[in-house]
Amino acid sequence: MSTLRLDDLKQYSDTLRTRHGDVLTLRFVEPRDTDELQHYFRSLSTRSRYNRFFGAISELPKGLLHDFLQVGERERFTVVATMMVDGFETIVAEARYAFHADTSTLEFGLSVDDRWQGHGVGTALLKNLECRAAALGAEHMFGDTLRSNDTMISLARKSGFAFTNHPDDWKLVRFDKEITVAPKEIPCASWRLAALSRQAASPSASA
Ligand SMILES: CC(C)(COP(=O)(O)OP(=O)(O)OC[C@H]1O[C@@H](n2cnc3c(N)ncnc32)[C@H](O)[C@@H]1OP(=O)(O)O)[C@@H](O)C(=O)NCCC(=O)NCCS
């Protein structure tokens, strides 16, 4: 299902809302975001970065930064949630997800700017990822987090995920959710994209 081209992806963005109604734009990362993305990760608290990457890093290492900027390659995607701050489009959250076709699963990780944590951004982002998972044809979505990460564990629990041990690392816990969403329940850009690519593959299906 690697038929999506970056040219196509650029047009698609979603709107997320914080608990208090602030509007965020969720879109695929673009090459022009390189500096802003690195700035976002540098600005995260040490604890948030540790929780996101399970290790002490001060910024994205070059290879990982490169991976983050590849959208659609090997069914891996990065999305950024942005808002206008003093006239600049500023990244306030990000998520990276990978579709594993062999197991029909979507694996993901995410983070929210420390100043915006606790405002419902993580909850809204997870919902959106659920739609993206469904659009890609995933039957389950899962992520891993440190056992000490109470916030992520609480967010996952409230979002309907179940917990299992990580297969290889006792310090991590895996949260997993069966995907049951229908397109109308949680609209997202990926769903529209998937519908369009199906129509393109089979024009009569749209009639
Ligand atoms: C984990 C994370 C993504 C949650 O995002 P968020 O936007 O803060 O989450 P929300 O505001 O939607 O809160 C969802 C739930 O998380 C829990 N939560 C939020 N902030 C919390 C805190 N400071 N302490 C404990 N639980 C907290 C609450 O249960 C909350 O639900 P409630 O508001 O109904 O009580 C965010 O804290 C983060 O980016 N952390 C650093 C990176 C990370 O840990 N990533 C996860 C690894 S994949």
pLDDT in tens, 71-121: 888 899 999 999 999 999 999 999 999 999 999 999 999 999 999 999 999
Report d(CA 159, CA 179) in Å as an integer: 12
Q: Specify if 35 maps to a domain.
A: yes
Q: Specify if 203 maps to a domain.
A: no
The pLDDT assigned to 10 comes to 62
Domain count, the chain: 1
% residues pLDDT > 70 (the chain): 86
pLDDT in tens, 128-171: 999 999 988 899 999 999 999 999 999 999 999 999 999 999 99
Q: How crowded is the C-beta side of 38, counted as CA atoms within 13 Å?
A: 14
Q: Specify if 1 maps to a domain.
A: no
Q: Specify if 199 maps to a domain.
A: no
Residues whose CB is less than 8 angstroms from the CB of residue 44 and which lie 6 or more positions away in sequence, other chains included: 52, 111, 113, 114
> Could you tell me the pLDDT band of residue 188, with boundaries at 50, 70 and 90?
confident
Determine the average pLDDT of the residues in 9-24. Answer: 88
Question: Is residue 4 predicted with pLDDT exceeding 60?
Answer: no
Instruction: Note down the domain range covering 16.
Output: 6-194
Instruction: Tell me the three state secondary structure of residue 11.
Output: coil
H helical segments located in 81-179: 121-136, 150-158
Q: Specify if 96 maps to a domain.
A: yes
Task: Give the residue among 100, 79, 101, 102 at the shortest CA–CA distance from 91.
Answer: 79
Protein residue closest via CA to atom 41 of ligand 1: 48
Q: Specify if 123 maps to a domain.
A: yes
Q: Specify if 207 maps to a domain.
A: no
116 C-alpha to ligand 1 centroid (Å) = 10
Task: Give the residue among 13, 26, 10 at the shortest CA–CA distance from 121.
Answer: 26
Q: Specify if 29 maps to a domain.
A: yes
Q: Residue 84's domain is classified under what CATH number?
A: 3.40.630.30
Query: Which ligand 1 atom is at minimum distance from the Cα of 93?
Result: 39
Pocket test for ligand 1, best of 155, 159, 173 (most atoms within 8 A of CB): 155
* pTM of the model as a whole: 0.91
140 C-alpha to ligand 1 centroid (Å) = 21
Determine the average pLDDT of the residues in 166-191. Answer: 85
- How many residues comprise the chain? 207
Pocket test for ligand 1, best of 18, 96, 117 (most atoms within 8 A of CB): 117
Question: Is residue 123 predicted with pLDDT exceeding 90?
Answer: yes
